[in-house]
Structure 1
Amino acid sequence: MWVLIWAALLLSLTERATCNNEAPAAAYNITYSPAEITPQTGLCAVIPCSFTHPDDFIPRIAIWFKCPDAQCSIKVEMDTIFHSENSSIAQEGYRRRVSLLETDLTKKNCSMIINDITKTDDGEYQFSVSEKLNSGNRNKSTFREKMKIAVKALTQKPSVLTPPLTEGEPATLTCIAPGICSGTPPNITWTWRGTGDNITELRDSTTIQKREDLTSIPITHFSTLTFTPSVEHHTTKVTCQVTFKGNITTEDTVTLNVTHVKEPKISGSNTVREGDTLNLTCFVDSYPPPPSITWSKNGTTALEQNISVLGALTISNMTSEHAGEYVCNAQHLNRTLTASIVVTVMYRPVILNASGCVIQAKVMTCVCVSQGVPLPLIGWLNTEEYFLTKSVLRSSVNTTIRMHVGNHTNTTVECVSINEVGRVREKLQVTHKESQGKQGEEVSKDILAMLLNPPLIAAFAIGSAFSATICCIFLCLTGKCKRYMHSVTEVQLVLYECW
């Protein structure tokens, strides 16, 4: 009988000793998913794991170890990085950095977070769980399976959220720091146009994200930047920089696209010579850019354009018929935008058929009508003293001279017309008309003599000059002097040039 009692007692002590060390593998299991993680410096490491135990085992204390070597010969006092009952047991470098995702061990969740990851966190880790008996002794199980952490350099970038931006409408940019753990709050700064200044305060979020393994992780630190976009902000760059503990930084830069539109602008010369090529470009500063820009002449006639360049209009071999108003049309969202330009085609003068001379009562009257752009100047050849009048109608100049021809019947008169494009010279046809009688002839002689009398001409000139001066003063006061003086001196200028 005593032999059986001693045998049973010895067996009981043997089982108790086994429980105090490592439980049978079939009773205790642990699962890491995955068995190796690669966190980045400055962020955090989440070690998802779950475990099972016998029904009569009630877990009370969770302990995480970091293996000091490949064999993982753990010494509790030196290698503990987390102790759920006594945090002072954990290594100094891991205190306040390591925590459990679930503090209720009866849920069999052993997931752990390590914040502010550094390269020193590389290595293998093991988990141990124990229960506290009434006598003060503990049943403990250290799971043999290990999980590995391989720390990588920080490559994650912050996320900069940019809403649609419209000129004049306030908008808010949001920068979300990388990582999904609490840890030490990072420093978030905005760089606006390269200034590098911190232009907004950090705002933290404590939103909870649910995971499939039923763990919950406090997520994200973020910063916001509120401003009113303008055209000047379009295509500018904004950088969000996040600095973690240990001066580990990462940043991301976004280019702003601001919806806006300005009135179209037409570039290119609006004055071309006959035979040359017209090149006009209609530019619309807008975002989004207009899908197309069309051209029309005088607002009605659609024109073909150079499709290789948006808004470009090219017309070769220009003629006077191409002169007129050109209009470009552009569509921006729901608006139609227009701009116009008046094109002038310069061409050399042409002496019209209405030009010619008539001799009557020894007085020759010659008319020279010339057309051209710019407005041509007219001069006379083979003439002596004469009286001149001039009129202008649009692009035509009409000049009339009267002079005494005496007994000459073979008088030849030439009209010369010139502008900056070219010069034309033509002999005018002379037609003779019979005299209207002696009385008419005498009257003509008197008029001609009076016109050719130097004193009278001088007096007429002085009076005309005085009148012109008074008129010019009046016109200057009304802002029209420049054009008037041009018309007064134009004839004198061409006479000097032609002679």
Structure 2
Amino acid sequence: MFLQSHSIMTLLLLILSLFLKSSSCQLQCSKEILDDKEFSISMTDHTTAESGDCIWIPFNLTFPKNKVTPPYKKIWFKEDPQTNVDIQVVDNMKLESKNTFRINGLPRGEYEYGFKLEWGCNQTYIFPKRLRIYVSELTRKPIVRAYPMKEGQAATLTCRAYRLCSGRSKVHWKWTKADGQSTVQHDYDYDFHFHFQRGREISRFHLTPKADDHNTNITCVAEYNYSIVTERTVTLTVEFPPQILNGSQCVVEGKLLVCVCISRGNPLPPITWPFASLTEYSVISSSSIQTVNSTFTMPAADYLNSTVKCISSNGLGQAEIVIPIQNYTEKYGLDGSQRFDANLPWITAVSFSLNLILLTSLIICAYKRYKNMQKVPCDREENNTYASLKKADVQEEYTTISPKPK
């Protein structure tokens, strides 16, 4: 009986204790009426930045320290007071951190931030002042170093990408060939090295260029968080020795020998024609990009060979080609004497046939004219004979004889 009554008393005391604690909490968590004049924040009301930049906002607070006691929270929110983006807990007033708000990079756009304090139990004060941030597009581009290269020799391109508050960059290279097609170069295609130095991330791209890589574009692309992308493009300069192209040829045009030689190289490779012993000839040269075009002209009868040599050279080498003269032996002998045209027999045959037809036509016409001239007198003779049978001659042959008088 005694044990049962003791248990009841213990239970009652426990219930009473819980009730008192609950009442105490409710008293402590009751919201105070705050005076706005006791709260203020000093900071800029607007600022500008580039996409991905670190944004530092210094500010100073004024609040009643007899009411807002540690531990309390300093909270920055974005747009809505319920959307917290930065929280600092102050446990000791003497160890309070500096009042600086840092934003770790933003994409392009306009943003609004606010500040509030929280302390005690459900005690909150939202400062009415707002911070507006205007973020423009990132203008800082990677720095790409590309020095003149030589065909077949290993070369290195270096890309230095800025490190932004939005995070480390992911760097890749994009190569645009002469045909306009772009391809992304991956690690297994080329050799990459990547490291961080003096606030920039560095990527090195190793390659062995070819002549066709000259004047192609290569781009260093740096990608960050929030879909922030920046890039820089450089044009490759590749030096290479002369290459004589397939369009080079020599032909005989009428009485002239005309030779064309086309060479490509970087630096531009001038073209020479080894005709020191000749005096009557002309050379016209032109160039476009890395191509040189030279035209040589002279009287065909003055040239005694069946081939012509073209020489092109620059500081990296020399190229030469022996060009055969097309149709040379058909028009000119090996000694330079002019031959009859292969079409001459055909032309002679046609000419003879035309002359024969003309002569035949003349003979026929002359014969017909002669026949016509002979036909006219015959007709006249027939008419006269017919007339004589009717008139004078007949009358004379049959005249009447008168009788003589007795």
User: Could you say which residue in structure 1 is the equivalent of 2:268?
Assistant: 289
Give the partner amino acid of 1:171. Answer: A
Displacement of 1:184 after TM fit?
3.8
Task: Tell me, yes or no, if the aligned pair for 1:273 and 1:346 is still in contact at 8 Å.
Answer: no
1:165 aligns with 2:149: yes
- Structure 2 CA distance for aligned equivalents of residues 201 and 240 of structure 1: 12
Task: Tell me, yes or no, if the aligned pair for 1:273 and 1:345 is still in contact at 8 Å.
Answer: no
- Structure 1 CA distance for aligned equivalents of residues 275 and 339 of structure 2: 30
Instruction: Tell me which of 61, 67, 78 is aligned to 1:66.
Output: 78
Task: Tell me, yes or no, if the aligned pair for 2:223 and 2:230 is still in contact at 8 Å.
Answer: yes
Give the partner amino acid of 2:102. Answer: M
- Structure 2 CA distance for aligned equivalents of residues 203 and 126 of structure 1: 40
Q: Which runs of 5+ in 2 are unaligned?
A: 1-33, 66-71, 346-406
User: Could you say which residue in structure 1 is the equivalent of 2:186?
Assistant: 198
Task: Tell me, yes or no, if the aligned pair for 1:162 and 1:174 is still in contact at 8 Å.
Answer: yes
**Using a 3 Å threshold, how does the CA distance of structure 1 residues 227 and 147 change in structure 2: closer, same or farther?**
same
User: Could you say which residue in structure 2 is the equivalent of 1:226?
Assistant: 206
**Using a 3 Å threshold, how does the CA distance of structure 1 residues 314 and 65 change in structure 2: closer, same or farther?**
same
- SS in structure 1 opposite 2:206? strand
User: Could you say which residue in structure 2 is the equivalent of 1:207?
Assistant: 198
User: Could you say which residue in structure 2 is the equivalent of 1:113?
Assistant: 103
Task: Tell me, yes or no, if the aligned pair for 2:281 and 2:296 is still in contact at 8 Å.
Answer: no
Task: Tell me, yes or no, if the aligned pair for 1:46 and 1:111 is still in contact at 8 Å.
Answer: no
**Using a 3 Å threshold, how does the CA distance of structure 1 residues 29 and 184 change in structure 2: closer, same or farther?**
closer
- Structure 2 CA distance for aligned equivalents of residues 339 and 176 of structure 1: 43
Task: Tell me, yes or no, if the aligned pair for 1:348 and 1:422 is still in contact at 8 Å.
Answer: no
- Structure 1 CA distance for aligned equivalents of residues 96 and 247 of structure 2: 75
1:22 aligns with 2:39: yes
Give the partner amino acid of 1:84. Answer: Q
For 1:103-141, what per-residue CA distance to the aligned partner results, in whole angstroms no more than 9, with x for missing partners? Answer: 9965x7x362323x357x7421246799x9xxxxx9x99
Displacement of 1:246 after TM fit?
5.9
- SS in structure 2 opposite 1:205? strand
For 1:216-268, what per-residue CA distance to the aligned partner results, in whole angstroms no more than 9, with x for missing partners? Answer: xxxx4443221222334334444544444466666655543312113545854
Displacement of 1:326 after TM fit?
5.7
User: Could you say which residue in structure 2 is the equivalent of 1:320?
Assistant: 301
Instruction: Tell me which of 83, 87, 111 is aligned to 1:83.
Output: 87
**Using a 3 Å threshold, how does the CA distance of structure 1 residues 238 and 104 change in structure 2: closer, same or farther?**
farther
- SS in structure 2 opposite 1:297? coil
**Using a 3 Å threshold, how does the CA distance of structure 1 residues 278 and 184 change in structure 2: closer, same or farther?**
same
Identity of matched residues, %: 19
From the CA coordinates, give the structure whose radius of gyration is larger.
Answer: 2
Task: State the TM-score, normalized to the length of structure 1.
Answer: 0.43
Moved more, 140-149 or 198-207: 140-149
Give the partner amino acid of 1:22. Answer: F
Instruction: Tell me which of 298, 305, 309 is aligned to 2:283.
Output: 305
Instruction: Tell me which of 99, 111, 131 is aligned to 1:146.
Output: 131
Displacement of 1:206 after TM fit?
4.9
**Using a 3 Å threshold, how does the CA distance of structure 1 residues 280 and 197 change in structure 2: closer, same or farther?**
closer
User: Could you say which residue in structure 2 is the equivalent of 1:37?
Assistant: 48
Task: Tell me, yes or no, if the aligned pair for 1:156 and 1:250 is still in contact at 8 Å.
Answer: yes
1:46 aligns with 2:54: yes
Task: Tell me, yes or no, if the aligned pair for 1:205 and 1:221 is still in contact at 8 Å.
Answer: yes
For 1:343-381, what per-residue CA distance to the aligned partner results, in whole angstroms no more than 9, with x for missing partners? Answer: 7698899xxxxxxxxxxxxxxxxxxxxxx8325xxxxxx
**Using a 3 Å threshold, how does the CA distance of structure 1 residues 82 and 236 change in structure 2: closer, same or farther?**
same
**Using a 3 Å threshold, how does the CA distance of structure 1 residues 195 and 287 change in structure 2: closer, same or farther?**
same
- Tell me the matched-pair count: 284
**Using a 3 Å threshold, how does the CA distance of structure 1 residues 164 and 323 change in structure 2: closer, same or farther?**
same
Task: State the TM-score, normalized to the length of structure 2.
Answer: 0.51
**Using a 3 Å threshold, how does the CA distance of structure 1 residues 254 and 302 change in structure 2: closer, same or farther?**
farther
Q: Which runs of 5+ in 1 are unaligned?
A: 1-16, 69-74, 87-102, 133-137, 209-219, 350-371, 376-393, 397-416, 425-499
Task: Tell me, yes or no, if the aligned pair for 2:166 and 2:226 is still in contact at 8 Å.
Answer: no
> More helix by proportion, 1 or 2?
2
Task: Tell me, yes or no, if the aligned pair for 2:42 and 2:60 is still in contact at 8 Å.
Answer: yes
Displacement of 1:272 after TM fit?
2.0
User: Could you say which residue in structure 1 is the equivalent of 2:333?
Assistant: 374
User: Could you say which residue in structure 2 is the equivalent of 1:125?
Assistant: 113
Task: Tell me, yes or no, if the aligned pair for 1:36 and 1:147 is still in contact at 8 Å.
Answer: yes
Task: Tell me, yes or no, if the aligned pair for 1:187 and 1:202 is still in contact at 8 Å.
Answer: no
- Structure 2 CA distance for aligned equivalents of residues 348 and 188 of structure 1: 64
Displacement of 1:286 after TM fit?
1.7
Displacement of 1:297 after TM fit?
1.6
- Structure 1 CA distance for aligned equivalents of residues 171 and 328 of structure 2: 68
Task: Tell me, yes or no, if the aligned pair for 1:190 and 1:240 is still in contact at 8 Å.
Answer: yes
